[in-house]
Amino acid sequence: MKDLDLVATFLEIYRRGSLTGAAKALGLSQPAVSGQLMRLEEQVGGTLFTRSRSGARPTPHAHELARRVGPHLDGLRHALGKDDAETALRGTVRLGAAAEFAT
Protein backbone atom coordinates (compact mmCIF):
# COMPACT_ATOMS: atom_id res chain seq x y z
CA MET A 1 0.00 0.00 0.00
CA LYS A 2 2.35 2.67 -1.23
CA ASP A 3 -0.34 5.36 -1.27
CA LEU A 4 -1.06 4.72 2.39
CA ASP A 5 2.67 5.11 3.11
CA LEU A 6 2.58 8.48 1.36
CA VAL A 7 -0.35 9.60 3.50
CA ALA A 8 1.37 8.38 6.68
CA THR A 9 4.49 10.34 5.72
CA PHE A 10 2.37 13.41 4.99
CA LEU A 11 0.72 13.21 8.42
CA GLU A 12 4.08 12.84 10.12
CA ILE A 13 5.36 15.98 8.36
CA TYR A 14 2.12 17.78 9.19
CA ARG A 15 2.26 16.87 12.87
CA ARG A 16 5.99 17.47 13.35
CA GLY A 17 6.28 20.59 11.22
CA SER A 18 9.39 19.48 9.36
CA LEU A 19 10.60 16.91 6.89
CA THR A 20 13.67 16.20 9.01
CA GLY A 21 11.55 15.51 12.11
CA ALA A 22 9.26 13.25 10.11
CA ALA A 23 12.24 11.40 8.65
CA LYS A 24 13.66 10.72 12.12
CA ALA A 25 10.28 9.52 13.42
CA LEU A 26 9.74 7.23 10.43
CA GLY A 27 13.29 5.91 10.32
CA LEU A 28 13.79 7.22 6.79
CA SER A 29 16.25 9.61 5.19
CA GLN A 30 15.18 13.20 4.62
CA PRO A 31 15.47 12.79 0.82
CA ALA A 32 13.17 9.74 0.99
CA VAL A 33 10.55 11.73 2.91
CA SER A 34 10.90 14.60 0.45
CA GLY A 35 10.39 12.19 -2.47
CA GLN A 36 7.29 10.69 -0.87
CA LEU A 37 5.87 14.15 -0.31
CA MET A 38 6.53 15.08 -3.94
CA ARG A 39 4.71 11.93 -5.14
CA LEU A 40 1.71 12.70 -2.92
CA GLU A 41 1.63 16.31 -4.12
CA GLU A 42 1.56 15.02 -7.71
CA GLN A 43 -1.36 12.73 -6.84
CA VAL A 44 -3.40 15.42 -5.09
CA GLY A 45 -2.49 18.05 -7.66
CA GLY A 46 -1.22 20.75 -5.36
CA THR A 47 1.41 21.93 -2.91
CA LEU A 48 0.88 20.73 0.64
CA PHE A 49 3.67 22.60 2.46
CA THR A 50 5.61 25.81 2.13
CA ARG A 51 9.15 24.78 2.95
CA SER A 52 11.71 27.02 4.60
CA ARG A 53 14.76 26.74 6.81
CA SER A 54 12.52 26.79 9.85
CA GLY A 55 10.38 23.83 8.73
CA ALA A 56 7.35 23.01 6.64
CA ARG A 57 4.28 25.23 6.96
CA PRO A 58 1.03 23.50 5.89
CA THR A 59 -1.03 25.06 3.12
CA PRO A 60 -4.82 25.25 3.42
CA HIS A 61 -4.94 22.15 1.20
CA ALA A 62 -2.74 20.30 3.72
CA HIS A 63 -4.96 21.34 6.63
CA GLU A 64 -7.99 19.96 4.82
CA LEU A 65 -6.25 16.71 3.87
CA ALA A 66 -4.99 16.17 7.42
CA ARG A 67 -8.46 16.82 8.81
CA ARG A 68 -9.99 14.29 6.44
CA VAL A 69 -7.44 11.46 6.61
CA GLY A 70 -5.81 11.86 10.04
CA PRO A 71 -8.53 10.25 12.16
CA HIS A 72 -8.88 7.36 9.73
CA LEU A 73 -5.15 6.59 9.64
CA ASP A 74 -4.98 6.84 13.43
CA GLY A 75 -7.93 4.44 13.62
CA LEU A 76 -6.19 1.97 11.30
CA ARG A 77 -3.03 2.10 13.39
CA HIS A 78 -5.05 1.47 16.53
CA ALA A 79 -7.02 -1.38 14.93
CA LEU A 80 -3.80 -3.02 13.75
CA GLY A 81 -2.25 -2.64 17.17
CA LYS A 82 0.55 -0.32 16.08
CA ASP A 83 0.05 1.98 19.06
CA ASP A 84 0.07 -0.75 21.71
CA ALA A 85 2.40 -3.25 20.03
CA GLU A 86 5.33 -2.70 22.38
CA THR A 87 3.35 -2.73 25.63
CA ALA A 88 1.36 -5.79 24.57
CA LEU A 89 4.53 -7.86 24.31
CA ARG A 90 6.02 -6.87 27.66
CA GLY A 91 5.79 -8.90 30.82
CA THR A 92 6.71 -12.27 32.19
CA VAL A 93 5.23 -15.55 31.09
CA ARG A 94 5.59 -18.51 33.41
CA LEU A 95 4.82 -22.02 32.24
CA GLY A 96 4.41 -24.98 34.50
CA ALA A 97 4.38 -28.65 33.63
CA ALA A 98 5.30 -32.01 35.04
CA ALA A 99 9.00 -32.74 34.70
CA GLU A 100 8.29 -35.60 32.28
CA PHE A 101 6.61 -33.22 29.86
CA ALA A 102 8.88 -30.21 30.29
CA THR A 103 12.15 -31.96 29.43
* pLDDT, position 86: 52
Q: What is the CATH number of domain 2-83?
A: 1.10.10.10
Sequential pLDDT tens for the chain (103 residues): 468 899 999 999 999 999 999 999 999 999 999 999 999 999 999 999 999 888 999 999 999 999 999 999 989 888 887 555 455 556 677 777 887 777 6
**Cβ–Cβ < 8 Å for 51, 20:** no
Domain boundaries along the sequence of the chain: 2-83
Q: What is the pLDDT of residue 25?
A: 93
What local confidence, expressed as pLDDT, does residue 88 receive? 56
Structure confidence at residue 22 (pLDDT) = 95
pLDDT of residue 98: 82
Residue 58's alpha-carbon distances to 32, 45, 67, in angstroms, are 19, 15, 12
pTM of the predicted structure, to 2 decimals: 0.74
